[in-house]
Amino acid sequence: MSRPARTHQWLGVIEEYRDRLDLPENTPTITLREGGTPMVASDWLSGLLGAEVWLKVEGNNPTGSFKDRGMTVALSVAVGQGAKAVVCASTGNTSASMAAYAAKAGIKALVLVPQGKISAGKLAQAVVHGGQVIMVRGNFDDCLKISRQLAEEYPVALVNSVNPMRLEGQKTGSFEIVDFLGDAPDVHVLPTGNAGNISAYWKGYKEYLASGDSTRTPVMRGWQAAGSAPLVLGAPVPDPETVASAIRIGNPASWDLAMAAAQESGGAFRKVTDEQILAAQRELASQDGVFVEPASAAGVAGLLVEHAEGADLRGKQVVVTVTGHGLKDIDTALSTFTDLVDTVVDADVTAAARAAGLD
């Protein structure tokens, strides 16, 4: 007897949530079946904090980061409105995502990145998907300024998170969390750079509350890298620095929306050092089996900092969005965790067993 076919296929965020998205009429669907990402129980963090901690693993999206949720919507709307080219400024993930969705749509992708400041993996994604990459002698904030000007003066649509359709797509992260848990969590923690994602999640939580799909909204906590922490300092940072290249951003585009998310939810922005970020990345990978890129570990690092400070999360339900896959930036991993690699032996079973401590 043959097995019955498994019928449910995740259709991507537009088809799964079309009635919840504020889209122009007749918007086509350009999708790589993004979203539907796993909620993984963090036994390690739950045990440590006495809380119920879930990881929303956005590295499982088609191009390896949460950007795909927003990009499917931004590209679909742009194409529906006749765009033949799209542009973005990027620290890496937005460009990888935009180039993939532009390839799917059959339109031109123009990427502006800070020269020498994005990971090789992300650069490879943008290039192999057919994006034209322009390296700018400057930082991400310079790239965004130029991209905005290009979109104003030339026939090319800007798909950074200043495009409201990006947030429209990214808000589906909150919908999935509530759909999974049955209600909103007590606390939602995530890394923050250009600040579109925390703004999008907050929008999603508020909409589910308003429609009666949830009974509450979470406290939103955004974590920035110490050398790139404008939302913590209350002023732009002219020369942002951090090992977490994805969030090396000094003047977040969604500043006001993000501040509103923190204030309205009773949350806050705080910062973690590069050392704390890298330690959290390593622990998450080795304790929970979830390998994320450095920026994505900032939220976990933040939870650990607050725990060390004595914050009491016992009995709380906490969701941490881990935003991008660890394979995005293996150079940083291999150059940081040098103690973990390279045991070399002759081609001999005894030598291998001895090196492994089995004998």
Ligand X SMILES: N[C@@H](CCOP(=O)(O)O)C(=O)O
Ligand Y SMILES: Cc1ncc(COP(=O)(O)O)c(C=O)c1O
**Residues at the interface with ligand Y (CB under 6 A):** 65, 91, 93, 161, 191-197, 246-247, 293, 295-296, 323-324
Q: Which of 27, 37, 125, 161: binder of ligand X (CB under 6 A)?
A: 161
| Minimum CB distance to ligand Y, residue 245 (Å) | 9
Q: Which of 42, 61, 94, 139: binder of ligand X (CB under 6 A)?
A: 94
Write phi, then psi, for 190 (nearest 5 degrees): -160, 155
Write phi, then psi, for 193 (nearest 5 degrees): -125, -85
Tokens 């606390």 correspond to: 187
Q: Which of 276/323 has CB closer to ligand X? A: 323
| Minimum CB distance to ligand X, residue 4 (Å) | 41
Among ligand Y, ligand X, none, the one that 160 touches (CB under a kind-dependent 5 to 8 A) is: ligand X
Q: Which of 139/214 has CB closer to ligand X? A: 139
Cα 138 to its chain centre, rounded Å, is: 23
Q: Is 92 in the site for ligand X (CB under 6 A)?
A: yes
Residues in the chain: 359
Q: Which of 151/318 has CB closer to ligand X? A: 151
Beta carbons of 201 and 195 less than 8 angstroms apart: no
Stretch that binds ligand X, among 171-179, 188-196, 202-210, 304-312 (CB under 6 A): 188-196
Q: Is 196 in the site for ligand X (CB under 6 A)?
A: yes
Q: Which of 52/68 has CB closer to ligand Y? A: 68
Q: Which of 42, 61, 91, 228: binder of ligand X (CB under 6 A)?
A: 91
Stretch that binds ligand X, among 43-51, 87-95, 176-184, 339-347 (CB under 6 A): 87-95
| Minimum CB distance to ligand X, residue 282 (Å) | 22
Query: How many residues sit close enough to ligand X to count as binding (CB under 6 A)?
Result: 14
Measured CA to CA, the distance from residue 344 to residue 327 in angstroms comes to 23
Number of C-beta neighbours around residue 338 at 10 A: 8
Q: Is 160 in the site for ligand X (CB under 6 A)?
A: yes
219-225 and 268-272 as β-strands: parallel, antiparallel, unpaired?
A: parallel
Measured CA to CA, the distance from residue 331 to residue 350 in angstroms comes to 32
Q: Is 190 in the site for ligand X (CB under 6 A)?
A: no
Tokens of 175: 């919908």
One DSSP character per residue, 211-243 reads TTS-S--PEEEEEEEGGG-HHHHTS--SS---S
- Rounded to 10 deg, the angle between the 196-210 and 172-181 helix axes is 50
Q: Is 214 in the site for ligand X (CB under 6 A)?
A: no
Beta carbons of 335 and 325 less than 8 angstroms apart: no
Q: Is 251 in the site for ligand X (CB under 6 A)?
A: no
What is the side-by-side strand order in the sheet with 108-114?
Answer: 132-136, 108-114, 85-89, 157-158
Q: Residue type at 34?
A: E
What is the footprint of ligand X within residues 51-70 (CB under 6 A)? 67
Stretch that binds ligand X, among 92-100, 124-132, 306-314, 350-358 (CB under 6 A): 92-100
Among ligand X, ligand Y, none, the one that 72 touches (CB under a kind-dependent 5 to 8 A) is: none
Closest CA to 131 of 169, 90, 161: 90
Q: Is 321 in the site for ligand X (CB under 6 A)?
A: no
CA torsion angle 204 177 161 290 (round to 10)? 170
Residues lying near ligand X in the complex (CB under 6 A) = 67, 88, 90-94, 160-161, 193-194, 196, 246, 253
